[in-house]
Amino acid sequence: MAIAFLFCLFLGRFLYVQAFWRDDLNARALDQWTREIPVSAGRGRIFDRNGELLAGNTPAYTVYARANAVRDPEKTAEVLAEALSLSEASLYEKLTDGSRSEIVLAKRIPRAAAQAIEGLDLAGVYYARDDARFYPYGSLACQVLGFTSYDGAGASGLESYYEHVLGGTRGEILFETDLVGVDLEGAVASYVPGTDGLDIVLTIDHRIQALAEEVMLRAYTQYSAAAAQAIVLDMTDFSVRAMVNLPSYDLNDIPRDDLTLLNARSRNRTVSDVYEPGSTFKIVTAAADLEEYLQGNAAAFAPERVFSSSRTRTVDGTTIRCWSDHKNGKHAGQTLAEALNNSCNPCFVDLVMALGGETFYDYLAAFGFGRATGLDFSGEAIGMLLPEQTLRDCDLARIGFGQSIAVTPLQLACAAAAAMGGGERYAPRLVEKICSADGAVVTVTQPVLLGRAVSEEASAMLTSMLEGVVREGSGKKAYLEGYRVAGKTGTAQKYEDGHIAQGKYVSSFVGCFPADAPRYLALVIVDEPQGAYYGSTVAAPCAKEIFEGIVGIMDIPPSEA
């Protein structure tokens, strides 16, 4: 009886091992009797929306060695040193290192060098495909595209975010060996092919991107600025047509040896950094007021209502002043349209205080502040918004004209696009579709509607008022002859250690055209310009140049009179 029980026990264990451990044991046996040389998969390419190549691959190879299979390390090191222009001593040290099964001797050598090594017939030395990444336009959209690591994996930007799409699955070359890694006599290597990555097609138009970079580089240089950014959105679905960050760097010459410089230059500040927007934020306050007026809120200011002509407002003991001295009748009898033209802070204090914190915070949420926009990109900041429960009246007053709140450039661009583009807010996009190498479409990225911030009527009223800002107000230098342009300037003081940094400003402009049927929005930011610093002087002309360039690129006819 005991013998029968033991027999059944051993039989059950045998069947269990056969059934459940089969794959694992096969893999262990294969690993024990073979050595693998990795074969990198072809990395997917990156194109702009017109099919222009922005990131591609050049054929390259990596050379490996298995020390136990090398018959004459000294001679092998000598020959390889000449073929690869490497140190013979270093190669010899690697070739005699028996502690590792596979050793990398050289990465990403050209095809000719790999073929030369093949002709040398060196025992224990192999090479496999390991393509090198290249970027035809060098620094164009460098912070957006990102770069790859030494191992060819995405390290930043879209290269990293879409690694699961671009990277593919690597293959292997398998060699039959004995237990110590020496090739078996007569054994034939087997090849397990990899699966190439897929291509991605961006929403970015390389022509608009190059235009925006050229314009911003002139401003960056002319004003000796600390930095400069720009965003161009298609207002129909918030797809990104251009995203500029200066200073930049060449993707084909990455400063990998200087990590501080690399981190600074590769950071996409339009997405990951925040700033106080200043007067460009008045677009949001005005939109909220107009919507409340249309909904019948008696506290809201009607468009024809005249603000107090006083230069100051005092809230919680804090006095807020207009940049103008209001003498000689300046800013007297202003309506909302004129307050936008004149960028008069006290008027926007009146608006936001009339609406109240609860109502205004509802609009801040509707416009997407305090949360990520949903861009397909890593490291997006959510901005800095005071908790509503801790909000003081003096804080609310300042938020109304763009202080005491910090936003990312992308958040502000999306909010402005919603405010001037019909009221709907979409998630911005950088990738339009994913394709196979032969061009077959695998996935199309559809626009995502996040909600409605204001009504179409309120949006149209606001855009009409912002046309006045460009036609006759602070945004005159963004005016484009023959086209209807709407927008708002901003000049914000910077803070350091909780205090105003003397002489440091952020100059900005956000606007759209054609204002009668909004299509393209541009946000321009120049950080710490020297000499001139008003947004009307520094940033507005940049927006005009960008709009003017888009007219030529997209062949947009003039607006009707």
- Position 226 pLDDT exceeds 70: yes
Averaged pLDDT, 90-97: 85
Its domain, for residue 79, covers: 30-135+169-201
The stretch 22-40 carries a mean pLDDT of 53
Candidate list 160, 279, 507, 536, residue with the active-site label:
279
Asked if residue 94 has pLDDT above 90, the reply is no
Q: Classify residue 259: in a domain, yes or no.
A: no
What was the pLDDT predicted at 43? Answer: 93
Most confident of 13-22, 120-129, 188-197, 428-437: 428-437
Residues 193 and 211 reside in one and the same domain: no
User: Does the active-site annotation cover 459?
Assistant: no
561 token code pair: 């009179």
Which of 159, 177, 201 is the endpoint of a domain? 201
Query: Are residues 361 and 446 part of one domain?
Result: yes
> Confidence class of residue 515 from pLDDT cuts 50, 70 and 90?
very high
**192 and 289 within one domain:** no
512-518: average pLDDT:
95
Q: Please indicate, yes or no, if residue 446 is contained in any of the structural domains.
A: yes
pLDDT at 264: 94
Q: Is 369 exposed, middle or buried (0-12, 13-18, 19+ CB in 10 A)?
A: buried
Domain-located, residue 21:
no
Residues 344 and 478 placed together within one structural domain of the fold: yes
Q: Is residue 2 part of a domain?
A: no
pLDDT digits (tens, 9 = 90+) for 139-162: 999 999 999 998 889 999 999 999
Overall average pLDDT of the 303-308 stretch: 94
pLDDT tens for each residue of 358-371: 999 999 999 999 99
489 near 469, Cβ under 8 Å?
yes
pLDDT tops 90 at residue 9: no
Instruction: Dump pLDDT digits (tens) for 252-269.
Output: 999 999 999 999 999 999
- The overall average pLDDT reported for the chain is 89
**How many CB atoms sit inside 10 A of residue 34's CB?**
18
Query: Percent of the chain at pLDDT above 70?
Result: 89
Q: pTM (2 decimals)?
A: 0.88
Is pLDDT at 24 greater than 60 in this prediction?
no
In the sheet where 486-496 sits, what is the strand order? 239-246, 227-234, 520-527, 499-513, 486-496
CATH number at residue 197: 3.90.1310.10
**Is-contact 524 543, C-beta < 8 A?**
yes
Position 35 pLDDT exceeds 70: no
Listed in sequence order, the residues at least 6 apart from 151 whose beta carbon sits closer than 8 Å to its beta carbon are: none
What's the pLDDT score for residue 33?
A: 43
Instruction: Let me know: does 233 contact 81? Beta carbons within 8 Å.
Output: no
pLDDT at res. 19: 56
Residue 39 bridge partners (DSSP): 171
What is the predicted pLDDT for the residue at 45?
A: 97
Residue 56 located in a structural domain: yes
The domain that holds 373 is classified in CATH as 3.40.710.10
For residues 195 and 273, membership in a common domain is answered with no
92, 108: one domain: yes
* Range with the largest mean pLDDT of 173-187, 229-243, 495-509: 229-243
pLDDT score recorded for residue 313? 94
Predicted confidence band at 31 (pLDDT cuts at 50, 70, 90)? Answer: very low
Residues 190 and 234 both lie in one domain:
no
Last residue of a domain, one of 160, 182, 201: 201
Higher pLDDT, 67 or 356: 356
**Residue type at 27?**
A
The answer as to whether 448 is a domain residue is yes
**Quick check: is 22 in a domain?**
no
Instruction: Report the pLDDT value the prediction gives residue 395, as an integer from 0 to 100.
Output: 96
For the stretch 49-71, pLDDT in tens is 999 999 999 988 888 887 777 88
Q: Among residues of the chain, what percentage have pLDDT more than 90?
A: 68
Task: Please give the pLDDT value at position 77.
Answer: 86
**Segment 370-381 mean pLDDT:** 96
Same domain, 79 and 219: no
Query: Domain boundary at 182, 201, 220, which?
Result: 201
DSSP string covering 257-308: T-HHHHHHHH--HHHH--B--GGGGHHHHHHHHHHHHHTT-TTSPPTTPPPP
In this structure, are 218 and 190 located in the same domain?
no
Strands (E), 456-544: 486-496, 499-513, 520-527
Dist CA 248 CA 433 (whole Å) = 26
- pLDDT of 131 > 50? The answer is yes
Domain count, the chain: 2
* 70 and 130 fall within a common domain: yes
pLDDT reading at 5 higher than 70? no
Looking at the fold, whether 306 and 406 belong to one and the same domain comes out as yes
In a domain, 153, yes or no: no
Q: Smallest Cα–Cα separation from 141: which of 225, 216, 54? A: 54
Q: Are residues 431 and 480 in the same domain?
A: yes
CA 407/CA 523 separation, integer angstroms: 13
Would you place residue 452 in the very low, low, confident or very high pLDDT band (cuts 50, 70, 90)?
very high
